A and B are shown apart, each in its own frame.
Chain A
Amino acid sequence: MTKTSNRIQIAETPLITGNQTFSTITDKVSSITEQKTPRMWYVLFGAASSLALIMFSLIGYLIWEGVGVWGVQIPVGWGWAIVNFVFWVGIGHAGTLISAVLFLFRQKWRTSINRFAEAMTLFAVICALIFPGIHVGRIWVAYFMFPIPNSMGMWPNFRSPLLWDVFAVGTYFSVSLMFWYVGLIPDLASLRDRAKNKIRKIFFGIVSLGWRGGNRQWKHYELAYLLLAGLSTPLVLSVHSVVSTDFATSVIPGWHTTIFPPYFVAGAIFSGFAMVMTLALVARKIYGLEHLITLRHLENMNKIILVTGMMVGYAYSMEFFIAWYSGNAYEKFTFINRAFGQYAWAYWIMISCNVIIPQLFWSKKLRTSIPVMFVASIFVNIGMWFERFVITVTSLANDFLPSSWDYYQPTFVDIGTFMGSFGLFFALFLIFIRFLPLIAMSEVKGVLPQADPLYYGHNGDGKGEKHGK
């Protein structure tokens, strides 16, 4: 190489700070599950599970009385339940993107956040599945959603995007669960080896599936992980694309537009990252994980929030422009109506939270400021809920026939059920961080400088003089 001396390096901030070693990471992460349950955990869990209980009670009430207890009416037959479904499925996408797509892109910074992001995916999908499940009306025949052979010769409509949802979300949940569990195995084995009492030893002994950390086990493990990442990657795109077809295959203005599949996917990743951010900031504060989830991780996440926020903004503007360009009176009306009609307030909340707020992250100062990113992440989540609300409700409330127009309002059952789903989500998340390692210890160790075979010397055998001055 010529002129090597002329080259100037831009210093990269290390991923993991605080001079960690393999054992400090194991100690730090494992101890969270081993120590006595903090009082704060009980308080939070009590609050979350109470909220979840409210949701289950309201679901009971709904089943007893029928969907009339919701605000849905004619012409707005799809209300909060569908909005919540799309919202929660979207939240899940960040977990899969972090664990699968960023893995394929060799983004090593994913290691500190992938574990709990994946757990978040699972819990978000559980919350999502509740809503269409209870929306069917006769919930006791909800199993008709699946194509089960029966003596009446009744089948679901295979041409309906709603059925594709069942398959898409079902696949998504099972593959995500598998991916998450495979990733957990080496860490579960660490917990088993550290276990002080018999019950823990037996429990983690069973779930770690006999992991010994041998060379051959690692080889198979890494291949399996790569294959699962490859399988999960199309799911990041397919699930929300299928969800978007619930709307886009119709001929409703504002729903039927060709950009919907990629637009929904971008929005899903956007909202999911915001949720990961909210959870990461809280978890790192409570458990003192600042050295493992560093500012660099948070900054990278904010960059992704900025990028996907811009994509969502791009889709909004393309929709608006094409609605005008189409020369179609109904398309034009729908979009003008969104921005200036009876739901204008919701539209502008959506624009402010999803397009304007992420612009803060152009500034390095703001995207590395914890209070700013915490507030922004919550705004993004609010905005993304409103995006689904705007899409679902505005197009229905002012449909082709002005005589049937109406103003949709949720009832206390709608509101309580949605709030309750947050309770369920957080309760599940709290259970997870209490009993399982919330950071992928084995993967974080892999990005430490010590993991480089040449770290301790140039023979690559891990022996010899310590490298570096």
Chain B
Amino acid sequence: MNFDNETYKITDSKNTGILLIIVGVSVTILSAIGYFSNSAQFFMSYLVAWIFWVSIGLGALFFVMLNHLTGAVWSLVLRRINESVMIALPFMAILFVPLIFGLHDMYHWTHAEDVANDAILSQKTGYLNVPFFLVRSAIYFIAWFLIAYKLYKTSITQDNNPTPDQIKAMRRVSGPGMVVFALTTSFAGFDWLMSLDAHWYSTIFGVYFFSGGLLSSLALLVLIALYLRKKNILNEMITIEHYHDMAKLMFAFTIFWGYMAFSQYFLIWYANSPEETIWYLHRWEGNWKILSMTLVFGHFVIPFIGLMTRTAKRNLVWLTIISIWLIIMHWIDLYWIAMPTYAHHGFHLSWMDLSLLIGIGSVFIGIFWKFTSASAIVPVNDAALTQSIGFSNN
């Protein structure tokens, strides 16, 4: 991989992005073979894989806005990488299209007859109906596109023609953007995941969905930075101090995720009301129990202990391991949320779970790479860049 030290652009591997997208689309299409043998499994696997990448894109979008709002300097060298992840998010709307054909397989509330005979579901038809569901999904993506596009475009303009207006503009977008983000992400969580079990409800679900995605996007950010470092790109700009700070945030958001997960579980367990506990009971049936415990230890206890010390946060090998681990845990989390509505008595992994995750992932990473290689890999003309590179924790 060649890197131009003057412009901070990756000069070769222009085609890698396209290649990844083509591979991803092919794998996704090949996975559709599974549709003919088991359509419900296909759509459920597709949903989990698709939401997994969407949630990571959302995490990146949040992180970019958060940094603009707080005026953070340390993270500036990472901004462009995050922006490239963020801008891949709106493209995921295209991959939503196949899901439209699987609504009947996935969402019980689309079965008109069952809904009519169900005292509770029949009350929800004002919200849970196919046209409104699709309109809402469209609104989410339009909102995310508008925010992400504005932020990305302003940031690229800053590379070529820096004025203080750009920083101000990005901050101005991020404020209301954050409000829109909070609402759209929460309702996306309600619509795409919580309504799989149409009877069940939890007020914290939106924040829970968000917290997992943010944690994974931080882990992905670490992995991307480490990959570039391996290729001797930005290895003098993204220093150990930046990794230390990213690890601190991963630690903090591990706790944040645990806090959300615990709040939801604990209050439902304590009140012990059947209409709520049923959701957890499903996840305690058969070998789902194993995944439930995996989340407790794998998504919280292990990263919590593993990221606690300063030494651990500054050990790049360890950070690689823990970041991959956290990303796997996030996928398990989403799988554990979605899949029990399809596989009631226990999970059995399908080849489609893996192939679609890789397929959609290749598309996502391909788009990311396309944007990464299209412009400088750091915001070269941001005023605080030098300060960001020289930042130290001591």
Contact = CB atoms under 8 A, between A and B. Distances in A.
A220 interface: no
B207 interface: yes
B279 to A, nearest CB: 11
Given A249-B267, A325-B127, A327-B123, A318 B162 contact: no
Contacts of B183: 314
B381 to A, nearest CB: 5
A318 B260 CA distance: 15
B273 A260 contact: no
Interface stretch (A5-13, A190-198, A273-281, A382-390): A5-13
A259 B271 contact: no
Contact of B124 (A237, A250, A319, A325): A325
Contacts of B26: none
A328 B273 CA distance: 12
Given A9-B383, A325-B201, A251 B273 contact: yes
Of A1, A258, A259, A327, chain B has the most CB atoms within 10 Å of the CB of A258
B251 to A, nearest CB: 11
Contacts of B123: 327
Given A3-B380, A259-B204, A318-B206, A248 B386 contact: no
B175 interface: yes
B121 interface: yes
Contacts of B201: 322, 325-326
Interface of B (DSSP majority class): helix
A327 B45 CA distance: 29
A325 B201 CA distance: 8
A327 B124 contact: yes
B263 A261 contact: yes
Nearest to B74: A106
Given A8-B163, A327-B124, A328-B275, A257 B383 contact: no
Interface string A224-257: 0000000000100100010001001111000011
Contacts of A23: none
* CB-CB nearest 5 A-B residue pairs: A259-B203, A327-B120, A258-B204, A249-B270, A259-B204
B75 to A, nearest CB: 12
Contact of B121 (A256, A260, A327, A328): A327
A432 B340 CA distance: 58
A157 to B, nearest CB: 13
B204 A262 contact: yes
A215 interface: no
6 contacts: A1-B386, A2-B6, A7-B162, A249-B270, A327-B119, A328-B275
Contact of B167 (A10, A241, A327): A10
Interface residues of A, number: 35
Nearest to B124: A327
Interface of B: 6-8, 119-121, 123-124, 127, 162-164, 167-168, 175, 179, 182-183, 186, 190, 199, 201-207, 255, 259-260, 263-264, 266-268, 270-271, 273, 275, 380-386
Contact of A251 (B127, B271, B385): B271
Interface string A84-105: 0000000000000000000000
Nearest to B207: A262
A4 interface: yes
A10 B164 contact: yes
Contacts of A256: 267, 271, 273
B271 A250 contact: yes
B186 A318 contact: yes
Contacts of B384: 9
Contact of A262 (B8, B121, B175, B259): B259
B383 A262 contact: no
B126 to A, nearest CB: 9
A190 to B, nearest CB: 26
Contacts of B207: 259, 262
A310 interface: yes
A261 B259 contact: yes
